[in-house]
Amino acid sequence: MNRVDQAFSRCRDDGRPAIMPYLTAGDPPEPVLGDLLVAMDAAGADIIEVGIPFSDPIADGPVIASAMHRALSRGITPERVLEEVRRVRGSIESALVAMVSTSIVVHVGVDAFVTSCGDAGFDGLIVPDADLDDFDRLGTACRRAGLTLSPLVAPTTGLERQRAIADRASGFVYLLARAGVTGERSSAPDIEGRVEALRTVTDLPVCVGFGISTAEHVRAVGRHADGAVVGSALVRVLDQAHHQGADVCAAAHAFVTDLR
């Protein structure tokens, strides 16, 4: 069974939502990505999303967009991300999902990129800017490599479109809590109705992201959804720890522990 499926199975047994932190590969520069993954795994992350830096992120707010810019300026490439994942894969239990722009996938080649991700130890992909038609080829490549493929569903997406998206999904469906871009918010989103609607067209786990920032938000989201993605808040904490000369791995561990 794919590690993504295993993670949701464990969480169902525990009666809780999956904790799904996001970080941008290569930011901060130290410690390296693999060490951060080990720290978050030890803190109890169920599924870790690894953002592969891209020069024109379409859905990311200023915190993550800045992190990607910093990582690219340091020479972080998809190949370096895969090397780090490969280095630590045997040491961590968490499922690993790459969030990557379709431009990178197409540049490398769909089959070649998906295969290299699987060989490195990734368990799934999120390709947020892929067209629905792209998911047919992506899905075939992911099934061949044993990876999940999780599309995004926007707040404005109608039910029939949701059905078409969910039919091409595996692992989980990523429901955006809010319109717009990623970023921290002061209050938990109201997602009950949208989760219930999405469940009428798919049996896959439904995970919610965009604006999930605190343990209280995770608790609120977890009353309805199967997982909560926390990105900008963690990226900000890691950047602050780096600039303050603090232990970045310890900061990552403490943040995920609090969410858990």
Asked about 84 being catalytic, the answer comes back as no
Q: How many CA atoms lie within 13 A of 142 on its CB side?
A: 25
Residue 16: name the closest of 26, 8, 5, 25 by CA. Answer: 8
Could you give the dihedral angle defined by the CA atoms of residues 39, 89, 171 and 142, in that order, rounded to the nearest 10 degrees? 140
3-state secondary structure 131-158: CCCHHHHHHHHHHHHCCEECCEECCCCC
Which amino acid, one-letter code, is at 155? P
For the beta sheet containing 227-230, the strands, ordered from the edge strand earlier in sequence to the opposite edge, are: 148-149, 124-126, 95-99, 47-51, 18-24, 227-230, 206-209, 173-176, 152-153
CA-CA distance, 242 to 140, in Å (whole number)? 40
CA-CA distance, 196 to 203, in Å (whole number)? 11
**Residue 41, token pair as written in the block:** 């795994």
Q: In 44-186, where does DSSP find H-type helix? A: 62-73, 78-88, 102-108, 110-120, 134-145, 159-167
The one catalytic residue among 27, 41, 46, 49: 49
**Residue 228, token pair as written in the block:** 């909560």
Asked about 160 being catalytic, the answer comes back as no
The one catalytic residue among 5, 46, 60, 184: 60
- 43-75: burial string, b at 16+ Cβ within 10 Å, e else: bebbbbbbbbbbeebebbbebbbbbbbbbbeee
Active site residues: 49, 60
